[in-house]
Chain A
Amino acid sequence: MTDKITDPVALWQKMIGEMEKGFNSFATKAMETPEFSQAMNRAGGVAAGAQRQFGDLMEKYLLSMNLPSREQMTGIAERLQSIEGQLGEIKSMLSQMSAASSGSQIGAAPRPPRTKRPPPDSGEPK
């Protein structure tokens, strides 16, 4: 059997593992500093600002092209969501009515009885 100390594959794997640990540990220390937070959030803030400006520009462009604005699309989406919600409610009511009239749910297999007990050796709760 190959000795792990002299097995080049095992050595390579060990080296990769150690490098991962070392790099993660080094990076964690660097990322815990306030300087890192400041730099990261400055970059993130610029990106968010740019995204907003781009969004405003796109909205003006869509308006000039006589296309629906984001606000209008959101309005339609909200109405659709409301219709979906109402459909769900109707489906749920139908299921309940069916269950009430036939004693079982539409398409659902009969539920097993709720009689299961834990194994006797599992002890009693405190």
Chain B
Amino acid sequence: MNAPTGLDLASIPERIQSEVQRAIMRSIKGVEDFSTSGPTLGSTPKDVLHSRGTMSLYHYRPMSDEIYRVPVLIVMATTNRGYILDLVPGQSFIEFLLKRGYDVYMLDWSAPRPEEKSLGMEDYVLDFIPDCVRRVQQDSGEQDVSVIGYCFGGVLSLLYGSIFGDGPMKNLICFTTPIDFREMKLFSNFSDRRYFDVDRLVDSVGNVPPEMILSSFEMLRPASRTVSQIQLWENIWNDEFVKSYRMFDRWATDTLPLAGEYFRAITKDLMWDNKLFNDTMSVGGRAVKLENIKVPILHAVAEHDHIVPYDAAKHLITKIGSEDKEEVMLKGGHVSLVAGANAIKRLWPKLDTWLGKRST
């Protein structure tokens, strides 16, 4: 029964007992958690099909008795590691695809070495992706390949698909992929051409250090790291919460440096001149027009994406030349769209339904 103040007096002893128990568990679990390593990430069985400098191509071992004809190549964002899509069994997008009968390959990145500072956009779009597609064709024995690009991996996939409009890409799936870089307002302001001397930066440091990339991501929500640490302390008695926190925190801070010339091209062509949106982009002298992409495309965007706001992504579908095209907006943020509990319920089944019937 509630007192006149609205306070449930009868529940107070129970509540105090519960909080005391949690405080004790926090102390015990806190020591346990800080003295053990986190869960093993990216453990779905795979073979390294090819590796060259910053680029690695994995093939995941099939997990079903029969697979779809068309293999799937995932192109990861160049700023982060691919294991966000392969966290732990039961929370792995890769494992989900394998169990649903897809033959899965991933183009993943490691930190570019100092001597790779000269890698430019053309190396990624005209060399790395076509090389991987060719190897997927050879390994699978199939000519068609479906491509899935996450975040900037989506941008690279769009550039590739625009230039190689005649194939062999059969389907394209983009997750949270920006094309209108003016609408990435904070990044746009950080790299304001009046104040940001990208030439000086790249000429000074070579590859752009991961701390700088991480800081720019964290500045988008400056209070969130502190708040997440408070939430961790409150929930440290909860094994599932801690496991999830450690997985995502490890991934988020495991940021990669960016090759210098590649960063220079992103800044000048995309952030400053918005060339992809304006149809004035070219890579290695080859024109990029999104209308050249005619294959079926699915673009998944997140309702609460603070890294790629919807305004930066919303024109993709209208600018693509395909007749079979769909945008789907799902609840979640930039990362929870593709990994975690939200993704398991929302994005993954949607993708399976869409891609399965286009993979035969």
What is the CB-to-nearest-CB distance from A113 to chain B, in angstroms, rounded to a whole number?
Answer: 5
B223 at the interface (CB under 8 A from A): yes
What 0/1 pattern do residues 82 to 126 of A give for CB contact below 8 A with B? Answer: 001100100010001000000000001101111111110011111
A122 with B7, Cβ < 8 A, contacts A9-B19, A114-B68, A115-B66 known: no
The number of chain B residues touching the other chain, given as a range, is: 35 or more
What is the CB-to-nearest-CB distance from A8 to chain B, in angstroms, rounded to a whole number?
Answer: 9
Q: Which has the most chain A C-beta neighbours within 10 Å: B11, B113, B201?
A: B201
Question: In the assembled complex, which residues on chain B have CB atoms less than 8 Å from the CB atom of A57?
Answer: none
A42 at the interface (CB under 8 A from B): yes
B115 touches A78 (CB 8 A): yes
A114 with B103, Cβ < 8 A, contacts A13-B234, A20-B223, A77-B115 known: yes
A74 with B115, Cβ < 8 A, contacts A6-B6, A116-B68, A119-B356 known: yes
Which of the segments B154-162, B191-199, B338-346 contacts the partner chain? B191-199
Question: In the assembled complex, which residues on chain B have CB atoms less than 8 Å from the CB atom of A37?
Answer: 189-190, 192, 194-196
At the interface, is chain A mostly helix, strand, loop or mixed?
helix
Question: In the assembled complex, which residues on chain A have CB atoms less than 8 Å from the CB atom of B189?
Answer: 31-34, 36-37
What 0/1 pattern do residues 294 to 326 of B give for CB contact below 8 A with A? Answer: 001000000000000000000000000001100
B68 touches A88 (CB 8 A): no
Question: In the assembled complex, which residues on chain B have CB atoms less than 8 Å from the CB atom of A24?
Answer: 221-224
What 0/1 pattern do residues 40 to 57 of A give for CB contact below 8 A with B? Answer: 111011001101100000
Q: Which has the most chain B C-beta neighbours within 10 Å: A17, A38, A51, A114?
A: A114
Question: In the assembled complex, which residues on chain A have CB atoms less than 8 Å from the CB atom of B66?
Answer: 112-116
B103 touches A42 (CB 8 A): no
Task: Give the docked Cα–Cα distance between A20 and B15 (Å).
Answer: 26
A109 with B61, Cβ < 8 A, contacts A24-B223, A37-B189 known: yes
B37 at the interface (CB under 8 A from A): no
Task: Give the docked Cα–Cα distance between A31 and B15 (Å).
Answer: 42
Task: Give the docked Cα–Cα distance between A23 and B200 (Å).
Answer: 33
B31 at the interface (CB under 8 A from A): no
What is the CB-to-nearest-CB distance from B256 to chain A, in angstroms, rounded to a whole number?
Answer: 17
A5 at the interface (CB under 8 A from B): yes
A19 at the interface (CB under 8 A from B): yes
A16 touches B64 (CB 8 A): no
What is the CB-to-nearest-CB distance from A60 to chain B, in angstroms, rounded to a whole number?
Answer: 17
What is the CB-to-nearest-CB distance from A123 to chain B, in angstroms, rounded to a whole number?
Answer: 7
B195 touches A16 (CB 8 A): no
Task: Give the docked Cα–Cα distance between A38 and B64 (Å).
Answer: 55
Question: In the assembled complex, which residues on chain B have CB atoms less than 8 Å from the CB atom of A44?
Answer: 196, 201, 212
Question: In the assembled complex, which residues on chain B have CB atoms less than 8 Å from the CB atom of A116?
Answer: 64, 66-69, 101, 359-360
A112 with B194, Cβ < 8 A, contacts A3-B2, A125-B358 known: no
Question: In the assembled complex, which residues on chain B have CB atoms less than 8 Å from the CB atom of A51?
Answer: 204-205
In-complex Cβ contact of A122 among B53, B234, B353 (8 A): B353
Question: In the assembled complex, which residues on chain A have CB atoms less than 8 Å from the CB atom of B15?
Answer: 2, 7, 9
B8 touches A125 (CB 8 A): no
Chain B: CB-nearest residue to A12: B234
Question: In the assembled complex, which residues on chain A have CB atoms less than 8 Å from the CB atom of B204?
Answer: 48-49, 51-52
Task: Give the docked Cα–Cα distance between A41 and B223 (Å).
Answer: 21
A20 with B227, Cβ < 8 A, contacts A13-B234, A88-B51 known: yes
Task: Give the docked Cα–Cα distance between A20 and B360 (Å).
Answer: 47
Question: In the assembled complex, which residues on chain B have CB atoms less than 8 Å from the CB atom of A92?
Answer: 50
B120 at the interface (CB under 8 A from A): no
What 0/1 pattern do residues 1 to 30 of B give for CB contact below 8 A with A? Answer: 010011110010001000100000000000
What is the CB-to-nearest-CB distance from B15 to chain A, in angstroms, rounded to a whole number?
Answer: 6
In-complex Cβ contact of A111 among B62, B68, B113 (8 A): B62
Residues of A within 8 A of B (CB): 1-3, 5-7, 9, 13, 16-17, 19-20, 23-24, 27-28, 31-34, 36-38, 40-42, 44-45, 48-49, 51-52, 70, 74, 77-78, 81, 84-85, 88, 92, 96, 108-109, 111-119, 122-126
11 contacting pairs across A/B (C-beta < 8 A): A2-B11, A3-B8, A6-B8, A17-B227, A28-B186, A37-B196, A45-B197, A52-B203, A52-B204, A88-B51, A112-B66
